[in-house]
Amino acid sequence: MSRVESSVGIHGWGAYVPRARLPMSEIAREWGWSEHQWKALGMIEKAVAAFDEDSTTMGVEAALNAIKRAGVRGEEIGAVFFGSESKPYAVKPSATIIAEALGITPITMASDLEFACRAASEGMRASIGLIASGMLKYTLVVGSDTAQASPGDVLEFTASSGAAAFVLGRAEGAAAVFEGSFTYVTDTPDFWRREGAPYPSHGEGFTGEPAYFKHITEAVKGLLGELGLRPSDFSYAVFHQPNGKFPVRVGEMLGFRQEQMKVGLVTPQIGNTYNGSALIGLSRVLDHAKAGERILVAPFGSGAGSDAYSIVVTEAIEERRGRAPSVDHYIKNKRNISYSEYVKMRRILVK
């Protein structure tokens, strides 16, 4: 029996990474960390949104790229799901701003989702249902964050800015088609930000085994079990990547090899873009993948939960690729900044 997911596919994908890069050495110098601290995290530098950027503006840019690749008109999109934990407005949807900017309004669903770093992924799973049921033709899923980190916290090495977006629709004509999806959630307080607090708090080591590793491995095992697939059946594996080390370790725990994970691992160059993390990784994989290749993607969100998707690339991917800038294009288009510029750009400076 064919699964519901197989009637839905990715028509367009797009990423956005802001131009400024803060090298790890700058943060270490500012706060008196040893270089072993960031090298242990597998990090090189992180992307920093400009003074006039926020999760909404980056979301618009990523979505524009996804729509260009999909070749659809704004009015054909029936839902906009915006996943972020750094919303410019605490109350007032960013999804409507994005929808208006892209000509999707007014006949559309639109909402902001919150589930730490996997909010956008929830939008992707919900989209599969909405499209498979025949209720909607296309949906737009956007994951975007200007991740906050308390200055001096170890989180500052990784928390960065970026966005990814996908236009989902019926499998016919899609650049990649879903094969299956699986979600695993529990109430696990590994990382949170209380209402009104400017920076998140975390449980240090507690973010690892009971949270990140437990949820991702359960979601991926659940998916593989349902589909009857093994890690070796995949050309690529992309995991949520809070640093450069966790995704590699969780992949190895599940039986994936380094080569399968290499293309989708972008955190060392751009940092952890939270809702963009695994999804920018997926965008980069789609920038490279060939027809027939199978991709595993597993976003994770604190609090906690993980989704796992199996996606198979189609022939249509080739003509879509060149319609918008690749993830690598954004990674290469950079300008290094100092810690003090970073403080100004991210509005950390108290005047």
Partner 1 sequence: MVRTPPVVWRSRVHRYRLVGSKCKSCGEVYYPKIFSCPCGGEAEEVELPKVGRLISYSVVYAVDEESRDRSPVIVGLIDLGVTRLVGEIVDVTPEEVKSGMHVEAVFRRIGEAGERGVIVYGLKFRPVM
The Cα diameter of the chain in Å comes to: 62
Residue 131 or 163 having the CB closest to partner 1: 163
Question: If binding is defined by CB under 8 A, does position 97 make contact with partner 1?
Answer: yes
The rounded distance, in Å, linking the Cα atoms of 120 and 130 is 15
Question: If binding is defined by CB under 8 A, does position 61 make contact with partner 1?
Answer: yes
Catalytic residue among 85, 122, 156, 179: 85
Compute how many residues bind partner 1; rule: CB under 8 A: 26
- The one-letter amino acid code at 114 reads E
The rounded distance, in Å, linking the Cα atoms of 317 and 94 is 29
Question: If binding is defined by CB under 8 A, does position 73 make contact with partner 1?
Answer: no
- The stretch among 110-118, 175-183, 294-302, 330-338 that binds partner 1 (CB under 8 A) is 330-338
Of residues 16 through 45, those in contact with partner 1 by CB under 8 A are: 19
Helix (H, G, I), strand (E, B) or coil at 271: coil
Of 114, 102, 191, nearest to 139 by C-alpha is 102
The rounded distance, in Å, linking the Cα atoms of 302 and 182 is 17
The rounded distance, in Å, linking the Cα atoms of 271 and 334 is 13
- The stretch among 36-44, 100-108, 133-141, 231-239 that binds partner 1 (CB under 8 A) is 100-108
Taking the complex as a whole, the smallest distance from the CB of residue 57 to partner 1 amounts, in Å, to 5
Question: If binding is defined by CB under 8 A, does position 56 make contact with partner 1?
Answer: yes
The rounded distance, in Å, linking the Cα atoms of 96 and 185 is 28
Per the annotation, the verdict on 35 as an active-site residue is no
Question: If binding is defined by CB under 8 A, does position 101 make contact with partner 1?
Answer: yes
Question: If binding is defined by CB under 8 A, does position 348 make contact with partner 1?
Answer: no
Taking the complex as a whole, the smallest distance from the CB of residue 202 to partner 1 amounts, in Å, to 26
Question: If binding is defined by CB under 8 A, does position 100 make contact with partner 1?
Answer: yes
Per the annotation, the verdict on 226 as an active-site residue is no
Residue 101 or 229 having the CB closest to partner 1: 101
Per-residue contact flags (x/-) with partner 1 for residues 255 to 294, judged by CB under 8 A = ----------------------------------------
Q: Which listed residue (204, 335, 336, 338) binds partner 1 by CB under 8 A? A: 335
Copy the structure tokens of residue 51.
């003074």
DSSP string, 127-156: HHHHHHTTS-SEEEEEEEEE----TTSGGG
Per the annotation, the verdict on 117 as an active-site residue is yes
Taking the complex as a whole, the smallest distance from the CB of residue 161 to partner 1 amounts, in Å, to 13
The rounded distance, in Å, linking the Cα atoms of 192 and 154 is 15
Q: Is the peptide bond before 324 cis (omega within 30 degrees of 0)?
A: no
The rounded distance, in Å, linking the Cα atoms of 212 and 119 is 15
Question: If binding is defined by CB under 8 A, does position 224 make contact with partner 1?
Answer: no
From residue 273, how far is each of 22, 59, 209, 241, 298 by CA, in Å? Answer: 14, 12, 21, 9, 15
Residue 58 or 132 having the CB closest to partner 1: 58
Taking the complex as a whole, the smallest distance from the CB of residue 100 to partner 1 amounts, in Å, to 6
The rounded distance, in Å, linking the Cα atoms of 41 and 207 is 14
Catalytic residue among 117, 202, 215, 218: 117
Taking the complex as a whole, the smallest distance from the CB of residue 314 to partner 1 amounts, in Å, to 26
Helix (H, G, I), strand (E, B) or coil at 285: helix
Copy the structure tokens of residue 24.
């790890």
Question: If binding is defined by CB under 8 A, does position 89 make contact with partner 1?
Answer: yes
Residue 166 or 236 having the CB closest to partner 1: 166
Residues 210 and 188: beta-carbon distance below 8 Å: yes
Q: Which listed residue (22, 24, 41, 64) binds partner 1 by CB under 8 A? A: 64
Catalytic (active-site) positions: 85, 117, 240
Interface residues toward partner 1, by CB under 8 A: 19, 50-54, 56-57, 60-61, 64, 88-89, 97, 100-101, 103, 325, 329-330, 333, 335, 344-345, 347, 349
